[in-house]
Amino acid sequence: MGKIVTIANNKGGVAKTTTVLALAQAWSDKGLQILAVDLDSQGNLTSLLSPIESDKHPRTIREALVERKDLPIEVINENLHLVPASLSLSNIENEITQFYRESVLKKLLDGVKDNYDIIILDCPPALGLLTFSALIASQALVMPVMADSLSYAGMTMVAELASRVTEYNPELKLKGVVVTKFKSDKISNFYLKTIREQTGPAFVETVVHEATKIKQATAMKENIYTFDPTGRATQDYLQVADILEDRILG
């Protein structure tokens, strides 16, 4: 049975989507069956993974959530599938009105869980219904965090939300805190140390370094493992993927 993992941080731009992509591609390249789910109306994950133009997807996660339809699953390659999102997701808070609306996503994902080793959820930079629904559905939470004051604050807010969610979903465990876009200087090193101390065993010792090639890969919609195979950040992500695979599946 597949494991469901949420990638979340309240703070924008801390590399949630980049991390989802890097993990999903590393794991699927190894032969694991992966479903990546875009829960962000920005549709960044969708536009980076899918060849279909962002407003041309026949169906997205929104219809599954609102109209109780099956999950729309696009085949990216043999081992990597995608549930796309688009701007239509931006009004979801007002569109799902039924009781237990936080459980609609869980029900949909539980229906396909047996087909995958890992289902990975890319959250928006907000602690609204979608992030809450993701946490309700998941066994694992991974938080990307930059070593600065604001994303550290975002991280503690997600951790608080997650601990409240465990009342409803006792299976949820914090499996990783991944420092992203790391560039060594005095302040970053201070926050790196603080994050390591605060997060204990969840801390992932391999930090992902800042690299212009990652930004370029995003801009060009390229896969980092083929675009910059020997780059430092690419190698960091490969190690992070191995560490998290062990923690999530082990």
Ligand X SMILES: Nc1ncnc2c1ncn2[C@@H]1O[C@H](COP(=O)(O)OP(=O)(O)OP(=O)(O)O)[C@@H](O)[C@H]1O
Query: 150 or 249: whose CB is closer to ligand X?
Result: 150
With the C-alpha atoms ordered 40, 43, 48, 52, is the resulting torsion angle positive or negative? positive
Neighbouring C-alpha atoms within 13 Å toward the C-beta of 209: 12
With the C-alpha atoms ordered 194, 146, 34, 83, is the resulting torsion angle positive or negative? positive
Please give the Cα distance from 77 to 111 (Å, whole number).
21
Report if residue 17 touches Mg ion, rule: CB under 5 A: yes
Query: In angstroms, what is the minimal distance from the CB of 156 to ligand X?
Result: 16
Q: Which residue, judged by CB position, is nearest to Mg ion in the bound state?
A: 17
Query: In angstroms, what is the minimal distance from the CB of 88 to Mg ion?
Result: 17
Among 11, 16, 181, 247, binds Mg ion (CB under 5 A): 16
Q: Which residues here bind ligand X, judged by CB under 6 A? A: 12-18, 40, 42, 44, 125, 180-181, 208, 210-211, 214-215, 218, 233
Report the relative pairing of strands 80-83 and 74-77 from DSSP bridges. Answer: antiparallel
Report if residue 11 touches Mg ion, rule: CB under 5 A: no
Query: In angstroms, what is the minimal distance from the CB of 93 to ligand X?
Result: 17
Please give the Cα distance from 197 to 230 (Å, whole number).
30
Binding segment for Mg ion (CB under 5 A), chosen from 14-22, 54-62, 182-190, 223-231, is: 14-22
Query: 107 or 183: whose CB is closer to ligand X?
Result: 183
Question: What spatial distance separates the first Cα and last Cα of the chain, rounded to whole Å?
Answer: 13
Binding segment for Mg ion (CB under 5 A), chosen from 10-18, 29-37, 150-158, 221-229, is: 10-18
Q: Which residues pair with 34 in a beta bridge?
A: 80, 118
Which partner in ligand X, Mg ion, none is near 14 (CB below 5 to 8 A by kind)?
ligand X
Q: Which residues pair with 179 in a beta bridge?
A: 145
Query: 72 or 125: whose CB is closer to ligand X?
Result: 125
Query: 82 or 99: whose CB is closer to ligand X?
Result: 82
Query: 39 or 248: whose CB is closer to Mg ion?
Result: 39
Query: In angstroms, what is the minimal distance from the CB of 230 to ligand X?
Result: 15
Query: 21 or 100: whose CB is closer to ligand X?
Result: 21
Query: In angstroms, what is the minimal distance from the CB of 12 to Mg ion?
Result: 8
Backbone torsions φ then ψ of 74, nearest 5 degrees: -100, 135
Query: In angstroms, what is the minimal distance from the CB of 114 to Mg ion?
Result: 28
227 burial (CB, 10 Å; 0-12 / 13-18 / 19+) is middle
With the C-alpha atoms ordered 134, 115, 217, 246, is the resulting torsion angle positive or negative? positive
Angle at 4 between CA 97 and CA 34, to 5 degrees: 115
Contacting positions for Mg ion (CB under 5 A):
16-17, 44
